[in-house]
Structure 1
Amino acid sequence: MLPPKVYTFLCACFAAMGATLYGYDLGVISYVLVAPDFVRVIDTTDDNYIGFIVSSMLLGAFFGSIPACLIADRFSRRMAITVAGGVFILGGILQTATQNKETMFAGRFFAGIGIGMLGVLAPLYQSEIAHPSKRGMLTATFQFFLGIGAIVAGWIAYGVQQTHPNAPMAWRLPLGFQMAPAVPLLLLSFLLPESPRWLMIKGRDQDALRTLARLHARGNENDPFVQGEWLAMKEKLGQEASVDQSWGLIFYDKTNLRKVLYGIILQFSVQMTGVSAIQYYAATVYKSVGFSQNTALLINSLNNINALFGELACILLVDRVGRRFPLIAGNMLAGSCFAVATALAKQFATGSGSRGEGIGFVAVLFIYNFAFSACIGPLSWVYPVEIFNTAVRGKATAMTCMAAWISNFMIGQVSPKAWNNIGWKYYLVFTVCGFTNALTFYILFPETKGRTLEEMDAYFRETHWFVPGAKVPVVSSKEREEQLAQDGLNHDRNIPSSDAEKGLQAGDYNHHEHI
């Protein structure tokens, strides 16, 4: 039998295949848009139409977020993942068989609904099955699989366009291949263990205990750590059962509203670093600094590989360095890279750009993409989902994901016109936003590394909104897990209930801390 953390990691990776669909769609569209036969079929060169072909997927994702949380809360996380896979396949079929721009819009929209659902469901499921010490790693796999999808899309589309540049295959084959990762999500999601927190919400306490044991202790229900987790979850959900769990719980509770606003701010900030503008319109970006279309697409494919190394670095390090520092440092580096890129792009706009300056532009964007992939992109999925309590996690995650999709939609829609109207000056937006993002995270966002999901409410209530002055203590994730195990041992020894309650108050671990 696999070690518990390996088994849990593999379960998280299966759920993360939903991100492969998103990454593939992100990666493939820049190749599809410039395929000669695709241009013939959609019969338009209007910037608004081109922008909407890109962004209609994101509009679908926006509308898919709320149904995802409703299905997940009502029927289970696994069922919702299955439904999302089916909806995405419908969108993939429409895109692959399209004969006009209207069908292409519809296909992108339905595929977007599936992607929007999975953007909610995969991080939600991953966070709810994870060990506290590995939660960042597990949730960061979402961005890693997104990167895999972008790489696969890039190299398939680039290869087909080299061998069949003017044929329908140059774009229909890449669009058709995007459905492959959705098939196991549709057919095999039932093999995943259900979220123990969802089971407990539904009153299935013993099923939750069995699932925790399966995930974290090779099926041993008497394992002290499993017992401690189960008791902490039961205590926290007991508290939440006494309050209204409707949408009003988000808007009328100051702590929940604060956390949702943080999630929305984070998701908007991601798009304002410029990542999607570069990804969607790679051919336009690299052609503007002197490269041919084929070379531009090759550069984009290589940059996707570069991003994967950044995402791997995040998976390996996020639970050691935390969330706060990478968000601050990554955005500062992103702003610095775009400052240099802006200066180099200006040279080409004025007609004085050299080959060396074009290579320098590419190099700077490679540095930016690595920093984004290691410090920003993965954490946009990690941070929001882990700060919510179980009562609102599905709904609140849906709201933060909607912010991701609508901001992504905005960038996809306005970028073609921005480049046509203001050219290199468009990069100034991303330069400024990189630095303002870093300042925002420095002021507002407390560190969440190592803390259990059940303690986040108390942690945010006790942490002042101005984080630099809040004197937030450092948390050892290993110590947290030892505390849970100790609580489980105390429970097994039948200690007096008054003492047990002191040790199990959700979010209150101060009597254990030595930091």
Structure 2
Amino acid sequence: MKAVHDNAPKEVNNWKVYSLAMIACMAAVMIGYDSAFIGTSISLKSFKDEFGLNTSTSAFLSANIVSTYQAGCFFGALSGYPMGYFLGRRWGLFVAAMVFNVGAVLQVVSSEKTGLGIMYAGRAIVGWGVGVASNLTPVYVAEISPPAIRGRLMGLYEAGWQVGAVVGFWINYGINRTIPYGNTQWRISFAVQLIPSGLLGIGCILLLESPRWLASKDRNGLAIKNLATIRGLDAEHPYLLAEMADIQNSLERDRAVTGAGFTGPIKALFQSKAYMRRLGIAVMLFACQNGTGINAINYYSPTIFKSIGVTGTNTSLFTTGIFGIIKFLGAIVWLLFLVDRFGRRAMLFVGSIGGAISMYYLGAYIAIAKPQLHPSTKLSPGGISAMFFFYLWTVFYSPSWNGTPWVYGAEIFPTYIRAATQSFVAASNWLFAFLIARFTPQMFQKMGYGVYLFFASLMILSIAYVYLFVRETAGVPLERMNELFSPELKPWQAHGIVMSRHNAAQEASNSENASVVQQEKTADEDDIKQRSDHVEYV
């Protein structure tokens, strides 16, 4: 698939829209760090000793600490819709950041004396903040993005997630090597949560509210003002007026179907088979994403590396950090070179095929070599090959399944129901992540190498799913998504047909505008000539 181009003025792809997207995506840094640091934090001896995780129930308690966060994320994602509807994208993100800070403080002050109760509460509260942010951030970025770079700007969300994850994966390696044993060790990693959430809260003061949300509240004057600022164009520019007209026309069509009010979009979603089919596609993408095994690795990376044959706390933390760096680099490559050039479908196909091969190799190696029965401080040649295939899996996963479901779920619904659908889409991600986080320790205890074969097989099944149901969205304007998902168009053909129609319509519009300009120019020339002739006559 070739890179997507449109006839937009070059001014619309400006530093302002990138800056606004980056501020909003500080939420992703917050999410990425919180998702990554906990797995290595609960593996620290100081944390285990503080909360009694060195007993036979340690796997159960660790799963509770991790999954409580996921449960909070699930309910936060559902809360994102009323937050976004009543407060808007900007102030909804601000509230999410402030609530997150409360939960982070509770975790830092928990101790052996308070027990795990406050820790569980803090994890659930930060999870709520993360859930709201995971809902509103993709919606906001999608709504302010020009179509040609929407994938790239949405990719900033994924890049921010990976920046936070890299810090989260590495921080406990540094702490374990430099900070003496004691509760200061684990408290530092928990306190760092306050940095990205604090920056998000401050950044929200600088954000411009989404013009699409303002238009949905009939605040059209401010909507035009904000859109002009974001696009870097004059408020009277034909492109900006055409985009604003598209937004208003789309809202009018949606309101005619759904009615106004808070419950209208929800009713419209559940009463429309077309929207429910779209929601099902987006939800299943997150099921497929979790089926790659990513959250098992994110939250229990020391367990994963131990199964391959990696021993020792520092070694395990170091290999986890390398995993985080590869994920980050993969996300950057996806953002800069792949997402808007090759589209969504192609990257998902490649990610599934390469990831499945890598997982099958890991399962086969563990089944044959049984490294857990031969612990060693040095990896064998077979262990080195297993590490290579694990990192190869990361290379395939990062630029494909890592960010694409988030981009897809944020861009395929009409504006009027987008906040509602994003609540369900984001909640589905956290629900699947909760199931993985809650049962991964038990899966490794019962299934052993079968865990890798299980995830590899799910990735093979995802190939058929993407081919049969997922439609390419790269470069398609948000206002043409209904056309893209028309039942008359096959999923593997829809993109080419819709983009051909869109480009033809733009060319016709440009020709019409050029004709009008030429007519006005001719009229002006005639007027000047008449005035000149009159002067000569006089």
Distance in 1, Cα, partners of 2:144 & 2:50: 46
Cα offset, 1:104, TM superposition: 1.2
Between 324-333 and 43-52, report the one with greater CA deviation: 43-52
Question: 2:330 is matched with which residue?
Answer: 310
Cα offset, 1:411, TM superposition: 0.5
Q: Is 2:211 the partner of 1:224?
A: no
Q: Where do 1:115-134 residues align within 5 Å?
A: 115-134=130-149
Q: Is 2:24 the partner of 1:5?
A: no
Q: Is the 8 A contact 1:132 1:477 kept in 2?
A: no
Residue of structure 1 aligned with 2:218, choices 197, 203, 214: 203
Cα offset, 1:178, TM superposition: 1.1
Q: Is 2:346 the partner of 1:325?
A: yes
Question: 1:252 is matched with which residue?
Answer: 271
Question: 2:256 is matched with which residue?
Answer: 242
1:418-473 C-alpha deviation (Å, 9 max, x unpaired): 11122111111101011101110011111111111111112212454x52476853
Cα offset, 1:492, TM superposition: 8.8
Between 360-369 and 181-190, report the one with greater CA deviation: 181-190
* Amino acid in structure 2 at the alignment position of 1:428: L
Q: Is the 8 A contact 1:37 1:168 kept in 2?
A: yes
Q: Is the 8 A contact 2:170 2:317 kept in 1?
A: no
Q: Is 2:71 the partner of 1:59?
A: yes
SS in 2 for 1:467: coil
Q: Is the 8 A contact 2:145 2:153 kept in 1?
A: yes
Q: Is the 8 A contact 2:93 2:133 kept in 1?
A: yes
SS in 1 for 2:195: coil
Question: 1:377 is matched with which residue?
Answer: 402
- Per the normalisation by structure 1, the TM-score is 0.90
Q: Is the 8 A contact 1:286 1:296 kept in 2?
A: yes
Q: Is the 8 A contact 2:172 2:317 kept in 1?
A: no
Distance in 2, Cα, partners of 1:188 & 1:374: 27
Question: 2:417 is matched with which residue?
Answer: 392
Change over 3 Å in CA distance of 1:72–1:492 after alignment to 2:
farther
SS in 2 for 1:461: coil
* Amino acid in structure 2 at the alignment position of 1:9: Y
Question: 2:497 is matched with which residue?
Answer: 473
Between 263-272 and 161-170, report the one with greater CA deviation: 161-170
SS in 2 for 1:258: helix
Change over 3 Å in CA distance of 1:474–1:318 after alignment to 2:
farther
Cα offset, 1:42, TM superposition: 1.7
Question: 1:301 is matched with which residue?
Answer: 321
Cα offset, 1:188, TM superposition: 3.1
Residue of structure 2 aligned with 1:139, choices 149, 154, 162: 154
Cα offset, 1:306, TM superposition: 0.9
Cα offset, 1:33, TM superposition: 1.0
Question: 2:526 is matched with which residue?
Answer: none
Cα offset, 1:71, TM superposition: 1.3
Question: 2:426 is matched with which residue?
Answer: 401
Between 15-24 and 240-249, report the one with greater CA deviation: 240-249
Q: Where do 1:51-450 residues align within 5 Å?
A: 51-99=63-111, 100-164=115-179, 166-216=181-231, 218-244=232-258, 245-292=264-311, 293-316=313-336, 317-349=338-370, 351=373, 355-450=380-475
Distance in 2, Cα, partners of 1:491 & 1:190: 44
Distance in 2, Cα, partners of 1:481 & 1:373: 36
Distance in 2, Cα, partners of 1:491 & 1:212: 27
Cα offset, 1:5, TM superposition: 2.5
Percent identity over paired residues: 27
Distance in 2, Cα, partners of 1:270 & 1:112: 20
Q: Is the 8 A contact 2:289 2:402 kept in 1?
A: yes
* Amino acid in structure 2 at the alignment position of 1:29: I
Cα offset, 1:296, TM superposition: 1.4
Distance in 1, Cα, partners of 2:206 & 2:511: 31
* Amino acid in structure 2 at the alignment position of 1:103: I
Cα offset, 1:363, TM superposition: 1.2
Change over 3 Å in CA distance of 1:189–1:401 after alignment to 2:
same
Q: Is the 8 A contact 1:224 1:487 kept in 2?
A: no
Change over 3 Å in CA distance of 1:340–1:104 after alignment to 2:
same
Change over 3 Å in CA distance of 1:398–1:491 after alignment to 2:
farther
Cα offset, 1:382, TM superposition: 0.3
Cα offset, 1:193, TM superposition: 1.1
Q: Is the 8 A contact 1:200 1:234 kept in 2?
A: yes
* Amino acid in structure 1 at the alignment position of 2:32: G
Cα offset, 1:348, TM superposition: 4.1
Runs (5+) with no aligned partner, structure 1:
496-515
Question: 2:536 is matched with which residue?
Answer: none
Distance in 2, Cα, partners of 1:452 & 1:4: 15
Change over 3 Å in CA distance of 1:90–1:4 after alignment to 2:
same
Q: Is the 8 A contact 1:160 1:169 kept in 2?
A: no
* Amino acid in structure 1 at the alignment position of 2:174: G
* Amino acid in structure 2 at the alignment position of 1:367: L
- Per the normalisation by structure 2, the TM-score is 0.87
Between 382-391 and 352-361, report the one with greater CA deviation: 352-361
SS in 1 for 2:208: coil
Alignment length (residue pairs): 492
SS in 2 for 1:400: helix
Distance in 1, Cα, partners of 2:275 & 2:63: 35
Cα offset, 1:270, TM superposition: 0.7
Q: Is the 8 A contact 2:170 2:320 kept in 1?
A: no
Q: Is the 8 A contact 1:196 1:207 kept in 2?
A: yes
Cα offset, 1:330, TM superposition: 0.9
* Amino acid in structure 2 at the alignment position of 1:39: K
SS in 1 for 2:310: coil
Q: Is the 8 A contact 1:123 1:142 kept in 2?
A: yes
Q: Is the 8 A contact 1:43 1:101 kept in 2?
A: no
Change over 3 Å in CA distance of 1:492–1:116 after alignment to 2:
farther
Change over 3 Å in CA distance of 1:302–1:61 after alignment to 2:
same
Change over 3 Å in CA distance of 1:352–1:481 after alignment to 2:
farther
Q: Is the 8 A contact 2:472 2:495 kept in 1?
A: no
Change over 3 Å in CA distance of 1:28–1:491 after alignment to 2:
farther
Spell out structure 1 runs of 4+ moving beyond 6 A: 490-493
